[in-house]
Amino acid sequence: MVRSKAFREYVKLLLSLGILIPLTLVELYAIQVLRDPLQIALSLTAYLTLVPTLTIVSALWSEIRMSVADILTKPRRERITVFSYVTRSVTLYRVSRGGPLRRLVELLAMGLANRVEKANIALDPYNVAALCFLISLSLGIASALLSTYLLGLEVVLAIAIGLMLSATTLLTPVLILDLAVSRRRGGIRLELPFFILYASLVEKAGRNLVIAFERVAKQTKLFKSMSREALALIKILTFFEAGPLTALKTYASSVPNKELRSIIEDYVSIAQTGGDTARFLESETERLIQLHSAEWSSYVEKIGLFGDIVVSLFVLLPALIVLGAIAFSQGASLFILELFTYFIVPITAIAIYIVVDAMQPRHPSIPLLTTLDKAFISTSTVLGMVIVFIVSTSLNLDTALAISLAMLIPTLATASIYMVRSIEVSKIERDLPRFLRDVAEALRIGYSFMQAIPKIATGKHYNRFLDRYIAALSVLLQMNIPLREVQQSVETRSWLFNYSLFILCELESLGALSPKEVEALAKFIECVESSRRKARSSLTFYSILFVIAPILVLILATLAQSILTALGTGVAAPFIQISLVKHLIDVVKILAAILALSLGIVGGKVRDGTGMNTLYAVIALTIITVALALWSQVTEFISVIITK
């Protein structure tokens, strides 16, 4: 009975797909032959209605019945994702395993299977491949027909467009999975040194690496990436009933990060030969810290090249265009400058931002904006835009000045919020190693962890942010609240402080908290922060350069205005297109405002690791806004200097 139902489904699907290609060719021929627009419209409508209806209804009928049955039986509520729908689809399962597209689906599924495993996504590659083929087939045919009928293209060109869209559809899951693999690799790279330090401390306490993974699996807020990796390992241990070392070896084969994969493979080898795994993990922690410092040094050297590119591209090129227009009165100069201002500058800034993000070492403790912060920024932006619009229309402001004001308001709101959060995080992390050493000293004297925190809270002073959290921690400990609940209750915006508190509470619960381990943690935090702090101080010059570049462009506009004023009444006046140069000056002023925003965001990314630090954009936009508001006075002053 089951086989007969399946056979009927296959026959219906085969019939619907079998008439698809011949009917498409007939439709393309009909469009070329028919001349009556009504007949063409009716023919095309009939095709676009008949074929998808026949294919979808016949293929999805059993799935529709199952969905109705699920609704009537009221199953338990769960979070359903797009991946879940694709994986659980009965229709896609039938198409991929027994339909006429089975061979083609297998070829694509084989390429997706390894990527799905590396991305750690619960997804059936065969169902994804079947879905892509169905969409590709329908999209390719529909685009070919519409290109022929609506755009009047030749059949060959229409078929080429359809094939191109079909190929793009087939490549889409490959690109999405590659992006997911890259995201997983980057998340592991970010948290790996901190996890290996924790694993080494757990290993010294008499546990093993698997126990470290299992305990991290519960810390989804702290270890966002490594907690998912821990769940992948636990799945192997639970469902495949493998031993700890076998599970580690199996898990390592699917890890896209070569550092973690190498560490796990070496750990398994050392454990199998009876070596000192705790010493191995400790040496790996030191190696990862040295690698982290080397990455920051290499990053500083690479940024120097970008500084030269910014000056050459965003300052010298506009100067050559404007001076060329003044000297040779070329009408194409205005078009080139507008193209550069409105298209090349934003696209290039985005490209530089992406490149910087790719080569920048990751740091977990970047202040994140809360929902309240985002609401404040959004409200300030909307109100500011309304005020700018009212003021610019009522006072008839210059276009460049209105654009500069419109950019200044949201960047000012973002910078103010970010700086408040950044100051809190930087002060906490500046004094965090000293706090950890005070804890180690209290443990060395003979205090327990429960006694050391209240003692430090009353006898030591660091800064108002860190003191506040230590006081809260002291109150909770004196109330005899369990350590795990204390660690989850006291959360700061500093990831390093949350991590340090997690380590202290974990070691205390394992009975392995000693001055030596706390000193090692303090040294680790100090090394991480010192390498980043040195890099930031070295990058200050380039951030300032990104602020100066738009100001230099605005100075160029003032010089051009002054030259135009000086030559407009002289002997060279007939040889200069004054209207053209005026238009160029207006575009250069807008260019300065766009550069101030773009390079200011890039400067924040270069130095602080995030584009949310818009302080550099605020500084540049403020100077440019003031100069544009006092444009006549500024150009008159420069004209006086030139004439003298």
User: What is the tens place of the pLDDT at every residue in 89-141?
Assistant: 555 556 556 555 667 777 777 777 788 888 877 777 777 777 777 777 777 77
Neighbours of 243 (CB within 10 A): 10
DSSP states of 392-442 as a string? HHHHT--HHHHHHHHHHHHHHHHHHHHHHHHHHHHHHHHHHHHHHHHHHHH
Place of tokens 């084989």: 110
The alpha carbon of 152 is separated from its chain's Cα centroid by a whole number of angstroms, namely 41
What pLDDT score was predicted for residue 4? 53
Q: CA quadruple 138, 140, 143, 145: dihedral positive or negative?
A: negative
Summarize the confidence of residues 467-494 as an average pLDDT: 83
By the 8 A CB rule, do 94 and 13 touch? yes
Residue among 493, 500, 491 nearest 526 (CA): 500
The alpha carbon of 316 is separated from its chain's Cα centroid by a whole number of angstroms, namely 32
For residues 87 and 231, which has the higher predicted lDDT (pLDDT)?
A: 231
Q: Among 25-34, 83-92, 111-120, 288-297, which range has the highest average pLDDT?
A: 288-297
What pLDDT score was predicted for residue 312? 74
By the 8 A CB rule, do 318 and 592 touch? no
Residue 225 has pLDDT above 80, yes or no: yes
State how far the Cα of 174 lies from the Cα of 194, in Å rounded to an integer: 31
State how far the Cα of 349 lies from the Cα of 357, in Å rounded to an integer: 12
Residue 572 has pLDDT above 90, yes or no: no
Amino acid at 189: R
- Whole-model pTM? 0.77
DSSP 8-state code for residue 362: P
User: What average pLDDT does the chain have?
Assistant: 77
pLDDT tens-digit readout, 350-396: 888 888 888 888 877 776 677 777 777 778 778 777 877 787 777 77
State how far the Cα of 400 lies from the Cα of 391, in Å rounded to an integer: 14
What pLDDT score was predicted for residue 270? 92
State how far the Cα of 475 lies from the Cα of 465, in Å rounded to an integer: 16
What pLDDT score was predicted for residue 354? 85
pLDDT tens-digit readout, 229-283: 999 898 888 887 678 888 898 888 888 889 999 999 999 999 988 888 889 999 9
State how far the Cα of 196 lies from the Cα of 386, in Å rounded to an integer: 52
Name the band, by pLDDT with cuts 50, 70 and 90, for residue 79: very low
Q: Angle 209-216/244-252 helices, nearest 10 degrees? A: 70
Least confident of 164-168, 179-183, 245-249: 164-168
DSSP states of 560-588 as a string? HHHHHHHHTTSTTGGGS-HHHHHHHHHHH
State how far the Cα of 149 lies from the Cα of 33, in Å rounded to an integer: 12
By the 8 A CB rule, do 560 and 467 touch? no
Q: Among 155-169, 474-488, 568-582, which range has the highest average pLDDT?
A: 474-488
What pLDDT score was predicted for residue 77? 44
pLDDT tens-digit readout, 385-406: 787 778 777 777 788 888 888 8
